[in-house]
Amino acid sequence: MSTSEPVVLAIDAGQTAIKVRVERPATAPVDRLFPGIRTHEPLLPQLADVARAVAAEQHLTVDVVTAGVSGLTRHESDASGLHRMLGLPADVRRVILAHDSVTSFLGALGEGTGAVVAAGTGVVTLGVGRTRVARVDGWGNIMGDAGSGYWIGREALDAVMRAHDGRGERTALTGLVTQQWPDLESAYIELQAAEDRVFIVASLARGVAELAANDAVAAQICLRAARELSVSATSALRRVAEADDVDPPAVCAIGGVFRADVIRERFGELVREAFPTVRLEPSHGSGIDGAAALAHLSPSHALLSYVSTSG
């Protein structure tokens, strides 16, 4: 097998699903789907299990294994450890492991420069310059994730309880929340006891966006979310900018939060106010595209400092 045309087994590991792609020379890619990573169990053995299962199913001799992983910690970012666990033939020359913000960036903007804001239940922004990389937010719902689906849902719950107490403006969001919790005064007890409370709170974001056209409170929450997301994007761009940059920066907004027109449009306005020459680009691809791109990342690319490599 030519070293310029490796057999790549790429993994995009999220909490909802694990996507796997096999890329072979002169053959159409093969995609497989597995249940999401189990956050209460060690991560690397789960990735190794998936890689072995796909290699056996496809009768593969794999050259490169890559993985972009949601919530990857520094402790878990151990490509050598994953390499040892794979148990595949010695032909596996390289293993590359990265946080999913890296693979989201590569999927969205390729090897270009700029910032990618990925906003779903949580949010993380990655800025990439010619020599610098900056991660902004992605610090979880307790310490960060400003403008995320969870953040929007939490703001809605706060607004509803303020209205209930007479501390805040009446809002149609009350109807949205009482669909799930008819007794508002016991809702906080039910939420605290729910194992999937982060998902439950984030699931309210869609309803908030739908009400924004006719409800001032919902509209303000969406506009504040757009501002938080724009601040993350512009902060990332500033951190990676260099004095001799010539090309205008690119910004790509991905994830379910940006399906809301009110958020996406206001986000674009605010980013342009801060960077008038910015290019707002649609995503070129997905997280699994970015995971596969790790195998071909230029040896001089700034993102190499954000990946763990074995071999």
| Res 227 pLDDT > 70 | yes
Name beta bridge partners: 95: 65, 310
Give yes or no for a contact between 242 and 131, defined as CB atoms under 8 angstroms apart: yes
DSSP 211-280: HTTT-HHHHHHHHHHHHHHHHHHHHHHHHH--TT--SPPEEEEESGGGGSHHHHHHHHHHHHHH-TT-EE
Q: What is the signed CA dihedral for 286, 142, 160, 173, rounded to 10 degrees?
A: 0
What domain count does the chain have?
Answer: 2
Predicted local distance difference test score (pLDDT) of residue 2: 44
Indicate whether 135 and 232 sit together in one domain. yes
Indicate whether 30 and 126 sit together in one domain. no
Give yes or no for a contact between 305 and 76, defined as CB atoms under 8 angstroms apart: no
DSSP 33-89: EEEPP-TTS-HHHHHHHHHHHHHHHTT---SEEEEEETT--TTT--HHHHHHHH---
Predicted local distance difference test score (pLDDT) of residue 124: 92
Across the range 246-264, mean pLDDT stands at 94
Predicted local distance difference test score (pLDDT) of residue 4: 62
Angle among Cα 20, 32, 51 to the nearest 5 degrees reads 45
Task: Please state, in angstroms and rounded to a whole number, the distance separating the CA atoms of residues 88 and 85.
Answer: 9
Across the range 90-95, mean pLDDT stands at 83
* Residue 110 pLDDT grade (very low, low, confident, very high; cuts 50, 70, 90): very high
CA distances from 48 to 76, 176, 177 (A): 13, 42, 41
Assigned domain for 1 exists: no
Indicate whether 63 and 197 sit together in one domain. no
Cβ neighbour number for residue 172 with a 10 Å cutoff = 18
Assigned domain for 48 exists: yes
Indicate whether 92 and 174 sit together in one domain. no
Predicted local distance difference test score (pLDDT) of residue 37: 85
Task: Please state, in angstroms and rounded to a whole number, the distance separating the CA atoms of residues 62 and 22.
Answer: 9
Predicted local distance difference test score (pLDDT) of residue 39: 76
Assigned domain for 291 exists: yes
The tens digit of pLDDT for each residue in 140-163 reads 899 999 999 999 999 999 999 999
Strands 133-136 and 123-128, sheet pairing? antiparallel
The tens digit of pLDDT for each residue in 13-40 reads 987 789 999 999 888 999 999 998 887 7
Query: What size, in residues, is the chain?
Result: 311
DSSP 134-176: EEE---HHHH--TTSHHHHHHHHHHHHHHHHHTSS---THHHH
Task: Please state, in angstroms and rounded to a whole number, the distance separating the CA atoms of residues 267 and 179.
Answer: 30
Assigned domain for 209 exists: yes
Assigned domain for 2 exists: no
The tens digit of pLDDT for each residue in 53-85 reads 999 898 888 999 999 998 788 888 899 999 999
Indicate whether 240 and 189 sit together in one domain. yes
Indicate whether 46 and 62 sit together in one domain. yes
Indicate whether 279 and 145 sit together in one domain. yes
Predicted local distance difference test score (pLDDT) of residue 58: 87
Assigned domain for 76 exists: yes
Domain containing residue 218:
113-283
Predicted local distance difference test score (pLDDT) of residue 140: 87
Task: Please state, in angstroms and rounded to a whole number, the distance separating the CA atoms of residues 292 and 48.
Answer: 16
> The domain spanning residue 29 has which CATH number?
3.30.420.40
Assigned domain for 162 exists: yes
Indicate whether 277 and 163 sit together in one domain. yes
| Res 1 pLDDT > 80 | no
Indicate whether 266 and 134 sit together in one domain. yes
Across the range 110-139, mean pLDDT stands at 93
Indicate whether 172 and 71 sit together in one domain. no
Indicate whether 183 and 38 sit together in one domain. no
Assigned domain for 292 exists: yes
Indicate whether 170 and 227 sit together in one domain. yes
Strand order in the sheet with 114-119: 133-136, 123-128, 114-119, 250-254, 279-280
* Residue 125 pLDDT grade (very low, low, confident, very high; cuts 50, 70, 90): very high
Q: What is the pLDDT of the chain when averaged over all its residues? A: 92
